Structure 1
Amino acid sequence: MKTILVLFGGCSTEYEVSLQSACAILGHMDARQYAPLPVGITREGQWRYFPGPLFHLETGDWQDQPACVPCTLSLDRGARQLLLSDGRRLPFEAVFPVLHGKNGEDGTVQGLFELTDVPVIGCGTLASALGMDKVRAHLLASQAGVRVPKSAVFSRGADLAAITQAAETLGYPLFIKPVRAGSSFGVSRAAAPDQLPAAVEEAFRHDRELLLEEAVPGFEVGCAVLGSETLTVGAVDEIELSEGFFSYEEKYTLKTSRIHCPARIPAEKAAEIQAVAKRIYRALDCRVFARVDLFLTPAGEIVFNEVNTIPGFTVHSRYPNMMRQAGVDFGDLLHRILQLGVGA
């Protein structure tokens, strides 16, 4: 039996989503093969060993439980131990980071564990950092022969007049995005020049760089990819929007949008999207699992959007649903991910 450190929570804006994903993963791990070692990171960044019941994760009050013990990771290379404040040392074989957004999905945590020679279940440091960085991910996707949106990049402190000129060149409407942020945080859609200054300010609240990006016509599609050497792809899904864009609120409430899985597109186009998703997955050095998001234009053109290296992982999330449509249920999917990660 292998002990897996399941790391959840974190001091990012996607804290609650991480708890929901971790709860689903912990609840579906095969107890005959894996022993979970749950470790939560509080909103303030403190590490806690959490041996408590799953319903505390569901309600979000896990860190208030008396059973939680302050802990830290042994930095001795190859030790693979969790050091508890009460003196205990808990060994483990691999880590499963279930952290969304900054300080978890962006390569920071992956680098920490790779430094100490701990196998990471999921994408490594490089792929995680690239997946969070829209500009560098787009550059690599373009080099791989995939069309990317027209864009312009600016650093904090840039002259607003220069940003305004670039926006005029791209044309309205357009999107203003932080270069590094998750779940559409800091993203705005500007339909006219008077909406640009507030959108720029909001993007710079989340990152030191912003991206002006053309509004690609059509709709968003996604593809789940599983594997390291041999790749398995899930069914392509489609996001139907009635207004606005796929913001953080829309992603988790679906108030004005719907997700169709499989997507309402011809089988040939779905196969083409799956092939492009695999090409991007390889180009960004992804491994174990990730979700590739793209746009499909009215002319049938496939345009790269982004890669989520730790997508939402509840039983109702997009990634497991895509794989379920391809014949891989949640339990089997989790088993395959653990096998791939532990053997990485």
Structure 2
Amino acid sequence: MKTILYILYGGKSVEHEVSLKTAYTVIQSIDQGKFDVYPIYITQEGIWCSRGKLEETPNELHDLIIRPSHEHTAPSLGEVLTNVFSLEGPKVVLPLLHGSNGEDGTIQGLLELLDIPYVGNGVLSSALALDKVVSKELLAHAGISQAEYRTFTYVRWIQDLKGLIGCVQEEIGYPCYVKPASLGSSIGISRCKNETELREAIHAAFQYDRKIVVEKEVEGREIQVAVMGNEQPLVSIPGEFIQDKAFFDFNAKYVDGRLTMSIPAVIPETVTRQIQQTAKLAYRTLNCSGLARVDFFIDREGQLYLNEINTLPGFTKFSMYPIMWERTNGTTYSELIEKLIDYAFTRHLDNQTIQYTR
């Protein structure tokens, strides 16, 4: 019997487009001899749409967009649960929802209530990792070095902008980065070299969140590793994008198509081991499972700083995560997806041993 694979993509998020790119690449690579694929598209308004079982592999990205209609739109979430998720047989969900309402623990909570295995991190780890303020505090408590940073709330901005600016200038300095606390894909992030740019960046970041992070720039290199697994995670060889600009914005990551990867990154073996060990520590500190990409900075003196953990790294053709695993141990894209699905089933079975009565 084939396994039913529900693929959730789109979503009510500014990273909606990134999710579509990820879903397109994933669906192209699924072995339909092993899986019955049921794509479920969530519009930017939060409407769930499904055409049922995938009969034909999409030829282009636009084919994944399902227009809301009487035939394809669920009138309620209950309808989705009754008609889509109730099919008989082994089933698993692959949530490819980047950012808010998908990578923040919300969809994971729903799937936990439905008692359906799903790929990737659970409720707690998803919520922790997406919130840069909380994750930085936990990682610091674990003794993991990070770039100097300060966090601010929307209320602080409204009530004391002058004080906020002064704090950044005195304690962080320029250049610095301003980031929404709970977004990815470089959306809402700005590099600032002076007060004018800082004011504009703070205003822009608060369009996407009610908390922001301001970080000191680390001059050096950005190194990434892929992590996979549950209680005993595996870490890939490190990779690096060869930078031709100070900051990789959204267009550089997903539109231009000019990124050059160096995998493995050319760094000393001792640094590779330090990165891999720190990545495992960070993964466990945030209670991660399934997968994550962990990003680091190495400054000009060789000091290592953890930048962030991404619990749903991109799977587009420009993405590091699947390529790092292919270069590490020969795992193909399709094999990687199947391994992640196996981890989902393993975690779900482990959770079934928890006793809820006494």
Asked if these proteins are the same fold (TM beyond 0.5), I'd say: yes
1:47 maps to 48
1:196-223, CA deviations, whole angstroms, 9 ceiling, x for partnerless residues?
Answer: 2111100100100111111112121111
Deviates most, 278-287 or 110-119: 110-119
1:27 maps to 28
CA shift, 1:94, in A, is 2.3
Equivalents in 1 of 2:9, 2:230: separation in Å? 23
Provide closer, same or farther for how the CA distance between residues 31 and 136 of structure 1 changes in structure 2, counting only shifts above 3 A: same
1:74-117, CA deviations, whole angstroms, 9 ceiling, x for partnerless residues?
Answer: 59xxxxx73349xx953562211011111111111111111222
Equivalents in 1 of 2:91, 2:257: separation in Å? 41
Provide closer, same or farther for how the CA distance between residues 21 and 68 of structure 1 changes in structure 2, counting only shifts above 3 A: farther
Equivalents in 2 of 1:134, 1:29: separation in Å? 32
Question: Does 2:338 correspond to 1:339?
Answer: no
1:173 maps to 175
SS at 1:206 equivalent: coil
SS at 1:205 equivalent: coil
2:131 maps to 133
CA shift, 1:256, in A, is 6.9
Deviates most, 255-264 or 333-342: 255-264
1:17-65, CA deviations, whole angstroms, 9 ceiling, x for partnerless residues?
Answer: 2122222222323334322221110122110113453326622563139
Alignment of 1:188-199 (within 5 A): 188-199=190-201
Code of the residue aligned with 2:149 in structure 1: it is S
Provide closer, same or farther for how the CA distance between residues 303 and 324 of structure 1 changes in structure 2, counting only shifts above 3 A: same
Equivalents in 2 of 1:255, 1:32: separation in Å? 32
SS at 1:55 equivalent: coil
Provide closer, same or farther for how the CA distance between residues 27 and 262 of structure 1 changes in structure 2, counting only shifts above 3 A: same
Q: Does the aligned pair in 2 maintain the 1:173–1:191 contact within 8 Å?
A: yes
2:81 maps to 82
Deviates most, 272-281 or 261-270: 261-270
Equivalents in 1 of 2:195, 2:69: separation in Å? 53
1:163 maps to 164
1:78 maps to none
1:282-313, CA deviations, whole angstroms, 9 ceiling, x for partnerless residues?
Answer: 11111011111111111211111111111111
Deviates most, 211-220 or 19-28: 19-28
1:227 maps to 229
CA shift, 1:316, in A, is 4.2
In the superposition, the TM-score normalised over structure 2's length comes to 0.87
Deviates most, 51-60 or 195-204: 51-60
SS at 1:264 equivalent: coil
2:324 maps to 322
Code of the residue aligned with 1:156 in structure 2: it is Y
Deviates most, 187-196 or 92-101: 92-101
Provide closer, same or farther for how the CA distance between residues 123 and 89 of structure 1 changes in structure 2, counting only shifts above 3 A: closer
SS at 1:54 equivalent: coil
1:311 to 297, 310, 313: 313
Provide closer, same or farther for how the CA distance between residues 323 and 14 of structure 1 changes in structure 2, counting only shifts above 3 A: same
Provide closer, same or farther for how the CA distance between residues 61 and 315 of structure 1 changes in structure 2, counting only shifts above 3 A: closer
Q: Does the aligned pair in 1 maintain the 2:47–2:68 contact within 8 Å?
A: no
SS at 2:207 equivalent: helix
In the superposition, the TM-score normalised over structure 1's length comes to 0.91
1:249-279, CA deviations, whole angstroms, 9 ceiling, x for partnerless residues?
Answer: 1111356753322112122212221111111
1:261 maps to 263
1:153-194, CA deviations, whole angstroms, 9 ceiling, x for partnerless residues?
Answer: 111132111111111121111111111111111111110112
Over 4 Å off, 4+ runs: 65-68, 72-75, 254-257
1:95 maps to 93
Q: Does the aligned pair in 2 maintain the 1:294–1:304 contact within 8 Å?
A: yes
2:352 maps to none
SS at 1:64 equivalent: coil
Provide closer, same or farther for how the CA distance between residues 296 and 110 of structure 1 changes in structure 2, counting only shifts above 3 A: same
SS at 2:150 equivalent: strand
User: Which stretches in structure 1 are left out of the alignment for 5+ residues?
Assistant: 76-80
1:202 maps to 204
CA shift, 1:243, in A, is 2.1
Aligned positions, number: 337
Equivalents in 1 of 2:234, 2:118: separation in Å? 19
SS at 2:214 equivalent: strand
State the identity %.
Answer: 34
Equivalents in 2 of 1:68, 1:304: separation in Å? 47
Question: Does 2:249 correspond to 1:250?
Answer: no
CA shift, 1:73, in A, is 4.9
Equivalents in 2 of 1:314, 1:181: separation in Å? 18
Q: Does the aligned pair in 2 maintain the 1:178–1:207 contact within 8 Å?
A: yes
